[in-house]
Structure 1
Amino acid sequence: MMASFFSYFGGGATAKRNNASKEAIVKLRQQLEMLRKREIHTEKQMLEQDVIARKNVTTNKTVARAALKRKKVLEQNLITTQQHINTLEQQMNAVETANLNLETVKVMKEASDAMKGMNKRIGINDIDETMEEIREGMQLNKEISEAISSVNTVDPNEEDELEEMLADMEQKALDDKIISAPSVPVTAHGQAVQPVAARPQEEDEEEELRKLQAEMAM
């Protein structure tokens, strides 16, 4: 049974699997490099659109608004690119770990072959000892498989910490928005002037323009 198990890792099949895993790792690294370059380029484009919006916020709101729209599209592209990078990094780690496991089992096969050679030179009294060595080899293989299955597990404490950081950032952003919001005008009788209702998209764009004007006035 052991011979049947280890035959999977022998001969030319092993070389083909090794080449396949190495090619997969190379392709993953190439794709990661391309995505990281795209990430940097997208961030540069976002900065350019932000500069255009700030430059035209007081002189040409149409141009400023168009720049803000392009910046929002670029933000979504950046998020998608970063998600792809994260996925490929995890996959590359998994392939590298699997390749390491394959090499480990290959060494175990060589050890098993060596044991077969020794078995030919031992007597009946040494059989129990040899079988124990084989069982130890099988146990080691099981432990390796279990170790591989536990790779890249997410620490619950780390997830909680990330959620807490995101909550803090969100709260800070809300606080900054409240502080920078313009005061509500009042009438001569002390009543707040009600703003005229506008479409949601136009409100967002006008809010962005007001923020830029406030920053440039500082």
Structure 2
Amino acid sequence: MFTRLFGKPKEETTSTLATLNKLNETLEMLELKESVLLKKASGEVERAKDFSKVKNKRAAIQCLKRKRLYEQQVEQLGNFQLRIHDQMIMLEGAKATTDTVEALRIGAAAMKAMQKATNIDDVDKTMDEINEQTDNMKQIQDALSAPIGSAADFDEDELEAELDDLESLELEDQLLQPVRPLPEAKQSARPTPIPQKKQTAHEDDELAAIQAEMAL
């Protein structure tokens, strides 16, 4: 069984689909016959009622006998339908199993082909080439960023010392600048502002003298 499934998966799938279609057609035919028989049984019941009204008891019984025969056939057709449903379920399950196995086999074959196409030695060789190219590119970048000409003769230590001197001079200039008076803080709103007394010329001279001393 497994040999047949694995040996010819496409043919088995086609045969399974054809069988399922045939079973489905048969099931539809049985359902149609069942519907016809149910209508006939219902018709016999109506005829039996009519014969009973006219006191034709024999004819009414004959109608009920035919109704029983129709019902037996309906029951038989129902059993046929159950068998077909059962077989369809089994075939659909088998088809799903076959499709799954076929998909797994295709996946395994694809992986095997990829492994053959990609040898581990080729991978190692490719990685070595990539590392080599990366090192070469780094060397090229270092060479391009290296100073050339007169800039190559500059002493980094001397340049750093000169920068320290410039920073020291800048700090001294900032310390020697005259102290600016702090801006008066904004007064908060008060209900009744208190008037301030104006400074006299003598007080202005004293303030200027204090500022000059602080600058020295």
Q: TM-score, with normalisation over the residues of structure 1? A: 0.50
Identify the match of residue 19 of structure 1 among 3, 14, 17: 14
Residue 122 of structure 1: how far off its partner (Å) = 4.7
Is the Cα–Cα contact under 8 Å of residues 41 and 70 in structure 2 kept in the other structure?
yes
Residue 119 of structure 1: how far off its partner (Å) = 3.5
Distance in 1 (CA, whole Å) between partners of 2:47 and 2:24 is 35
1:33 correspondence with 2:33:
no
Residue in structure 1 matched with residue 64 of structure 2 by the alignment: 68
Is the Cα–Cα contact under 8 Å of residues 9 and 106 in structure 1 kept in the other structure?
yes
Change (3 A) 1:57 1:21: same
Distance in 1 (CA, whole Å) between partners of 2:21 and 2:107 is 30
Distance in 1 (CA, whole Å) between partners of 2:30 and 2:103 is 36
Residue 32 of structure 1: how far off its partner (Å) = 0.2
Q: Secondary structure in 2 aligned to 1:57?
A: helix
Distance in 2 (CA, whole Å) between partners of 1:114 and 1:6 is 21
1:75-96 CA-to-partner distances (Å, cap 9, x unmatched) read: 1111000111111112112111
Letter in 2 for 1:86: L
Distance in 2 (CA, whole Å) between partners of 1:8 and 1:38 is 36
Residue in structure 1 matched with residue 143 of structure 2 by the alignment: none
Q: Secondary structure in 2 aligned to 1:24?
A: helix
Distance in 2 (CA, whole Å) between partners of 1:39 and 1:57 is 27
1:96 correspondence with 2:97:
no
Give 1:39-78 correspondences, 5 Å limit.
Answer: 39-58=34-53, 59-78=55-74
Residue in structure 2 matched with residue 79 of structure 1 by the alignment: 75
Residue 8 of structure 1: how far off its partner (Å) = 5.3
Gaps of 5+ in 1: 125-218
Residue 19 of structure 1: how far off its partner (Å) = 1.2
Residue in structure 1 matched with residue 108 of structure 2 by the alignment: 112
Q: Higher mean Cα deviation, 45-54 or 110-119?
A: 110-119
1:9 correspondence with 2:15:
no
Change (3 A) 1:102 1:20: same
Is the Cα–Cα contact under 8 Å of residues 6 and 109 in structure 1 kept in the other structure?
no
Max Rg structure: 2
**How many residues in Structure 1 have an aligned counterpart in Structure 2?**
118
Distance in 2 (CA, whole Å) between partners of 1:17 and 1:90 is 20
1:149-181 CA-to-partner distances (Å, cap 9, x unmatched) read: xxxxxxxxxxxxxxxxxxxxxxxxxxxxxxxxx
Residue identity over aligned pairs, in percent, reads 27
Is the Cα–Cα contact under 8 Å of residues 35 and 85 in structure 1 kept in the other structure?
yes
RMSD over aligned Cα atoms: 2.2
